[in-house]
Chain A
Amino acid sequence: MEQLTTIGLNHYLTISAILLGFGLFAVMTRKNAIVVLMGVELILNAANINFLAFSKYNGGMEGVMFALFVIVIAAAEAAIALAIVINIFKIFKSVDVSSIDSMKE
């Protein structure tokens, strides 16, 4: 009962592990490039939750700083990724990762 009523480190870590699982699932099973990138975003945010939770319970500011930088990097990555995906759509008329495969032997 104690575990259910008070929020502790374990709760944060569980949420983050679940998010990581969802992210990996999206990356592995989805064909749409945009959805794959959304999965990556979930993975990054799972790491963010870890950093913030550990930062709170370890008592240092490094985790908070790290999470901030991860957010910034994720934004930059989204910008580059969408530019590349738009370019792919212009050329292939599709953003299906599995169908864009012209270089196999």
Chain B
Amino acid sequence: MFELPSGAEIQGIIASVQGSVGLFIPEIYLSALFMLLIVVDLVAKGRKNNLLAITTLLGLAGSTIFIYQQHGLPAGEIFFGMYVLDEFALFFKYFFVLSAIVAVVVTMADEQFDREVKSMGEYYALIVAMVIGMIMMASSADLIMIFLSMELVSFTGYILAGYFKRNPRSSEAALKYLVYGAVSSGLMVYGFSLIYGITAQTNIIKISLELAAHGSDSLVMILATLLVLAGFGYKIGAVPFHFWSPDVYEGSPTPVTAYLSVASKAAGFALLMRFFYVAIPHGALPPEDTLGIDWLSLLMILSVASMIYGNVVALWQKNVKRLLAYSSIAHAGYLLLGILVMDQFGTQATLFYLLSYFIMNFGAFYVVILISNKTGSENLDDYRGLGKKMPLAGAALTVFLISLVGLPPTVGFIGKLMIFSALLTKGTLYMWIALIGIMTSVISLYYYMLIPLNMYLRESKSPDEKGMNLALAPQIILAVLMMLTLYFGLFFTPLSDFAKYSSVMFGITLQ
């Protein structure tokens, strides 16, 4: 049934693999960094120092050089169509490496790690492993690679969520993340098997060609799309696949929460866009073939449900980490809006929104960590009067929250503006969806502003007049993040140009 390849064919295969390896250098470098970190951990065992963190930071910073070298390379598939190299993938390579750098910086500031665990062990190695997985998620062009890279990200995520082994809340977070993650990835693989059955292909570009040439059974295709969406929806934390996120975000170590909410979510979006845009382009199947519903209408429902649910349920939250979890569900809804548009401007808006979410969300979690270092609590009531005790942290948190609401002059405003203006060019239905987005943003103003309200206008229950001074390094980082939020809110052209440059995906031409 399957003939053995001849000698010449084997030579050809070897040459092709060798050619592909040259385009795979950042991933190889990061894998080497991962192994190096394990060795460094063994050498520095038991010693409480920042050796591991600094090695990680330097290593990650070094990887940007290799990513930069990929800019001039022609877009194309490598490793027999398993993997793809294009501007879209490059954007996410930078994104994930930068978010890992920020995650490490945030971890170094978190004093909870000193109390909960004896040594940092494999923590930083896992952060790097997750970067590799997420980069592969953004660059996969084959169902097998999509599945493998997603599982790499999920597995490291489970371990990181439960990193405080003795802490019940962290362990519970790991269990919930695991159970929901395992089920949704199982459903996704079942969906992949159906797609493979329909098309006999696993490469997403070949799948789209096959679907365009032969069509498909509408019912099976919708079922497969739904199942695949269960896997992707879990990664991006959209309603109705969000059940894990409040508990996981609350229980996990705060730097891990920040990392999951920014980077893992962005990886899910990268995959979602590449898979649906390239493999099952909207309009490739005639409407009567798909009962009139395809992934676009499913994503519309997901988006509207996420925006409404996330913003409304957040109103009742008393824990700031949990509040930010619900806000992150809502932001998944806004990001989905940009995907619904399905043109170049929409993609650009989504990428820009991801960048703005990166800055403001990491900033918000960073302040949460600094405050919980001093007060030992993440409860909204314990934030009373902190504005006077920690002036810089209070001001910075207010700026980040204003940006999360989407008010000028912050980067979050520009992100929302781009997404909504991309929607408004598309017609009446999209206008109504944009209207829902704007209304829910107004709702979100209330719960975000509860935090500054507590910090500035309410007095602390136990008033001790001494200020809580931060160390110099956190103050500088905080000031930089705050300045970036404001700076890119006014001078956003570099970011939006970069997002525009990155909105080119191999295998499909967006209008």
Contact = CB atoms under 8 A, between A and B. Distances in A.
B155 A87 contact: no
Interface string B167-178: 011011011001
B332 to A, nearest CB: 20
A87 B192 contact: no
Interface in B103-162: 143-144, 147-148, 151, 155, 158-159, 162
Contacts of A91: 166, 168, 171
A105 B318 CA distance: 8
Interface residues of A, number: 45
Interface string A9-41: 000000010001001000100000100110110
B186 A69 contact: no
Interface string A43-74: 11011101101100011111101100110010
A61 B196 CA distance: 11
A59 B183 CA distance: 29
B301 to A, nearest CB: 21
A58 B200 contact: yes
Contact of A84 (B151, B174, B194): B174
A100 B247 CA distance: 11
Contact of B192 (A23, A36, A47, A58): A47
Interface of A is mostly: helix
Given A54-B200, A80-B155, A105-B318, A43 B186 contact: yes
Given A47-B186, A88-B175, A77 B194 contact: no
B250 interface: yes
A103 interface: yes
Given A70-B147, A73-B147, A81-B182, A87 B201 contact: no
B190 interface: yes
A66 B202 contact: yes
B189 A70 contact: yes
A103 B250 CA distance: 8
B193 interface: yes
Listed from nearest, the 4 A-B pairs whose CB atoms lie closest are A43-B186, A50-B193, A58-B200, A54-B197
Interface of A: 16, 20, 23, 27, 33, 36-37, 39-40, 43-44, 46-48, 50-51, 53-54, 58-63, 65-66, 69-70, 73, 76-77, 80-81, 84-85, 87-88, 91-92, 97, 100-103, 105
11 contacts: A40-B186, A50-B193, A60-B201, A62-B200, A66-B202, A80-B155, A81-B158, A92-B172, A101-B172, A103-B246, A105-B318
